[in-house]
Amino acid sequence: IAGITQAPTSQILAAGRRMTLRCTQDMRHNAMYWYRQDLGLGLRLIHYSNTAGTTGKGEVPDGYSVSRANTDDFPLTLASAVPSQTSVYFCASGRLAGGTDTQYFGPGTRLTVL
């Protein structure tokens, strides 16, 4: 692994289903982030983690949950998907907590909820 990876690349999901988007980084970065990107809107922060074992809510956390059991992994779970969660999801990481450092983005997951 080099950098930050996400899985799956894309997914079509029935409404009401549970889904976990995976994110793994091998840069030993402290901070990790989940964003969603919708056409015509800026990236919006869903959840973040400044270090392993801690998480925080971003701008649009409702309907999503995260965990940070170790430094490398930061999965995002949709407990019961709804069509408004159709979006492109990006995971990112940064060396320093607090967003002051460059963020490195994964390739994204395209999620369609029907």
Partner 1 sequence: GQNIDQPTEMTATEGAIVQINCTYQTSGFNGLFWYQQHAGEAPTFLSYNVLDGLEEKGRFSSFLSRSKGYSYLLLKELQMKDSASYLCAVLNSNYQLIWGAGTKLIIKP
Residues that bind partner 1 (CB under 8 A): 40-45, 58-59, 90, 98-100, 102-108
Q: Which is nearer to partner 1, 26 or 59 (CB)?
A: 59
From the centroid of its chain, how far is CA 20?
10
Q: Which two tokens stand for residue 92?
A: 């990112």
Q: Which is nearer to partner 1, 67 or 95 (CB)?
A: 95
Radius of gyration of the chain (CA): 13
3-state secondary structure of 70: coil
CB of 70 to partner 1, least distance (A): 23
What secondary structure letter does DSSP report for 29?
A: -
CB of 104 to partner 1, least distance (A): 8
